[in-house]
């Protein structure tokens, strides 16, 4: 076993590797960028080395600096985590040439599976079924469009060099192919440095089911059963589970045998995942699954496999990389119970899952697992940490395990309802709604489920008068909410409001809330909300509200929903005039990738004005109304959240221009 390893990653996966290494008595070295100088993984590691500025291209993608850090600290091996350089064969070569061990597969194995088109040709030769499509080298648009017609619409354009939904576009009609191809290529180039694509048949009711495989350096390979990752938005996984609901013995046998065959075909060593697409339109059948790709690394969702098999896959990685044989044979690996993993992100589900930033002023996960279940919280952040625009906005992975799927799903719902995060927009309410969705609960899930139900899943009920009253009382400075049977009793005797009602003002989004707080004769407080709300007396509240407070902000938690209120500064000047001036602001930090209009152009409502790239994904900025462009950001501009991207000519000026 190694005595010291370097972890070439950050966030929750770096923390995850550190925990297992510590259990095995292995010392760890963290690397960090400027943005991560005070991060949790740096604090947890035995040593830490600074490798550059915040952008990934100047830090976590600098393989030379990472290898130099490993050599300087005396590390024997490098664990890549996932993302960044984890599937970069050139980095593996660099590690090995430097006399270090890469905790993962060989560069040859990564190259064999690194490009989707080549991997599918290899799998066809190995007898593994692949999705019908074009996986060739030629990339001329005329050829690709012709192949799409041969395959039959709808088709899926996919970047050959990556995953995570980046560089992927579904095309329903031939007229849309050219635009979709251009967009997919731009996104693929930005994310992977390779704009080549492949074109495949789009399966009508696809299930994304993957098999965890593990190989060693002695020619052995095993599977650790399957995971279902069909709950996706924008081709990115949201909730994963193991085993797959509705899995039949025949399909499991065929799929796991194919996965092991695929791993052995490339002499695979370490943790890997064979991803399959399954046609569920007629139920799960052994002849209706196809190879999609192989992830030659540890997956984000590996904890669900660990929960149902009783294994530590990171420990397996360290043991195999250090020269040991597989810890278990195939016959020794058994399934037990059911597990779910929910990915908690800083994102706005109601706005198309836009990534969000912000400081986590309040972060509280369930202290104990729901009754009858086990629970894990995988995170790389603490209260007070910032979600920056430089990296993936994941906050945590909430993982639960119980005896069967129904019990595990109930445990997931309970844990989500007890999670409290304030300071950034998060997706906990969306996750809870998905966990409660009737189709998802029944196991009738496919990759289109979230898209079909998106409006219902992202809708959040407005705050009740009771929730608003709790926010008003907290904003009034009446004191902290005690944990007692009577939440307001300790406020008796407080005299600031005696005889005089205090007017309070809050904002919920763009909505102004007016209220009056006064002391009742019995010493309790009464909150009376102006129309359109009904008055709510404080003593009528059903329970002590869960809330978080920091300067000028209050979040009240109701289940998995966090209602965020702001407390306006009465001395601050009104910003209403600026808001009415007619401008579009950046919804998140990003790069202006493409500008489609110019100053002076007349545009109509819904017309695409520019493309904003954030988190390596493209986001369309469209005109909210008809108008004339007064100013527009330039291509290549790096903007922050709230930066004015487009300013429209004021209505009177536009009218004058039209008549002149």
- Residues annotated as catalytic (active site), given as ranges: 297
Q: Residue 572 in 3-state DSSP?
A: coil
The angle formed by the CA atoms of residues 616, 617 and 618, to the nearest 5 degrees, is 125
Whether omega for the bond prior to residue 402 falls within 30 degrees of 0, making it cis, is: no
Q: Residue 444 in 3-state DSSP?
A: coil
Alpha helices in 398-506 (DSSP H): 405-417, 428-436, 438-441, 449-458, 465-475
Q: Compute the distance between CA of residue 94 and CA of residue 347 in angstroms, rounded to an integer.
A: 36
Contact 304, 143 (CB under 8 A): no
Please, which residues have CB within 8 angstroms of residue 431's CB and are 6 or more apart in sequence? 238, 239, 342, 343, 344, 416, 560
Handedness of CA 406, 408, 412, 417 (dihedral sign): positive
Q: Compute the distance between CA of residue 313 and CA of residue 484 in angstroms, rounded to an integer.
A: 44
Backbone angles phi, psi at 61, to 5 degrees: -100, 5
Q: Compute the distance between CA of residue 161 and CA of residue 385 in angstroms, rounded to an integer.
A: 33
Chain centroid to Cα 52, Å, comes to 25
Q: Compute the distance between CA of residue 367 and CA of residue 381 in angstroms, rounded to an integer.
A: 16
For 438-533, strand residue ranges (E) read: 502-508, 511-519, 525-529
What residues form DSSP beta bridges with 561?
558
CB-CB neighbours of 264 under 10 Å: 15
Q: Compute the distance between CA of residue 168 and CA of residue 191 in angstroms, rounded to an integer.
A: 11
Residue 439 is given by DSSP the state H
Cβ burial, residue 334 (10 Å; 0-12/13-18/19+)? exposed
Backbone angles phi, psi at 299, to 5 degrees: -90, 155
How many residues are recorded in the chain? 660
First to last CA, the chain: 81
Contact 614, 588 (CB under 8 A): yes
Q: Which of 82, 91, 78 lies closest to 30, judged by CA? A: 78
């Amino acid at each position: 076993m190694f005595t010291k390893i370097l972890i070439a990653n950050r966030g929750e996966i770096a923390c995850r590797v550190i925990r297992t290494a510590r259990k095995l008595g292995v010392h760890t070295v963290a690397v960090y960028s400027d943005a991560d100088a005070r991060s949790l993984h740096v604090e947890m590691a035995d040593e830490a080395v600074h490798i550059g500025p915040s952008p990934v291209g100047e830090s976590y993608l600098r393989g030379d600096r990472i290898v130099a850090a490993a050599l300087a600290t005396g590390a024997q091996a490098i664990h890549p985590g996932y993302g960044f350089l984890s599937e970069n064969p050139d980095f593996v070569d660099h590690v090995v040439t430097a006399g270090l061990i890469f905790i993962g597969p060989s560069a040859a194995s990564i190259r064999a599976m690194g490009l989707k088109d080549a991997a599918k040709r290899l799998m066809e030769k190995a007898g593994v079924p692949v999705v019908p499509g074009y996986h060739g080298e030629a990339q001329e648009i005329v050829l690709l469009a012709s192949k799409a017609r041969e395959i039959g619409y709808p088709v899926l354009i996919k970047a050959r060099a990556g995953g995570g939904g980046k560089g992927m576009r579904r095309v329903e009609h031939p007229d849309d192919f050219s635009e979709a191809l251009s967009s997919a290529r731009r996104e693929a180039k930005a994310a992977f440095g390779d704009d080549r694509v492949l074109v495949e048949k789009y399966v009508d009711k696809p299930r994304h089911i993957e098999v965890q495989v593990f190989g060693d350096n002695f020619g052995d390979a095993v599977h650790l059963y399957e995971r279902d990752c069909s709950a996706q938005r924008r081709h990115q996984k949201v909730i994963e589970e193991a085993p797959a609901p509705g899995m039949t013995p025949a399909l499991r046998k065929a799929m796991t045998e194919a996965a092991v065959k695929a791993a052995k075909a490339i002499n695979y060593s370490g943790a890997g995942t064979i991803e399959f697409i399954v046609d569920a339109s007629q139920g799960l059948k052994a002849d209706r699954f196809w190879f999609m790709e192989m992830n030659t690394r540890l997956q984000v969702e590996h904890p669900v496999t660990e929960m149902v098999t009783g294994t530590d896959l990171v420990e397996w990685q360290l043991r195999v990389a250090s020269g040991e044989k597989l810890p278990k044979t195939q016959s020794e690996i058994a399934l037990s119970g059911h597990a779910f993993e929910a990915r908690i992100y800083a994102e706005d589900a109601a706005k198309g899952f836009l990534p969000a930033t912000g400081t986590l002023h309040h972060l509280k996960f369930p202290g104990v697992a729901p009754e009858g279940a086990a629970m894990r919280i995988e995170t790389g952040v603490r209260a007070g940490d910032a979600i920056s625009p430089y990296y993936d906005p994941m906050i945590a992975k909430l993982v639960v395990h119980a005896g069967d799927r129904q019990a595990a799903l109930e445990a997931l719902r309970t844990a989500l309802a007890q999670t409290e995060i304030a300071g950034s927009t998060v997706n906990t309410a969306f996750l809870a709604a998905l966990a409660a969705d009737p189709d998802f609960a029944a196991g009738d899930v496919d990759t289109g489920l979230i898209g079909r139900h998106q409006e219902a899943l992202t809708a959040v009920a407005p705050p009740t008068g009771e929730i608003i009253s709790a926010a008003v009382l907290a904003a009034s400075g009446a004191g902290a909410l005690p944990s007692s049977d009577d939440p307001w009793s300790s406020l008796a005797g407080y005299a600031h409001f005696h005889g005089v009602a205090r007017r309070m003002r809050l904002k919920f989004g763009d909505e102004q809330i007016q209220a009056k707080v006064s002391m009742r004769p019995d010493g309790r407080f009464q909150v009376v909300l102006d129309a359109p709300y009904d008055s709510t007396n404080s003593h009528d509240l059903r329970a002590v509200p869960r809330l978080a407070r920091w300067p000028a902000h209050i979040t009240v938690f109701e289940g998995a929903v966090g209602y965020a209120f702001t407390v306006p500064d009465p001395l601050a000047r009104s910003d209403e005039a600026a808001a009415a001036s007619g401008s579009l602001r950046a919804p998140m930090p990003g790069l202006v990738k493409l500008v489609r209009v110019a100053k002076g152009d007349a545009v109509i409502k819904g017309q695409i004005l520019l493309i904003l790239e954030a988190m390596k994904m493209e986001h369309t900025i469209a005109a909210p109304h008809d108008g004339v462009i007064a100013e527009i950001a330039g291509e290549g501009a790096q903007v922050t959240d709230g930066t004015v991207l487009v300013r429209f000519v004021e209505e009177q000026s536009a009218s004058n221009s039209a008549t002149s």
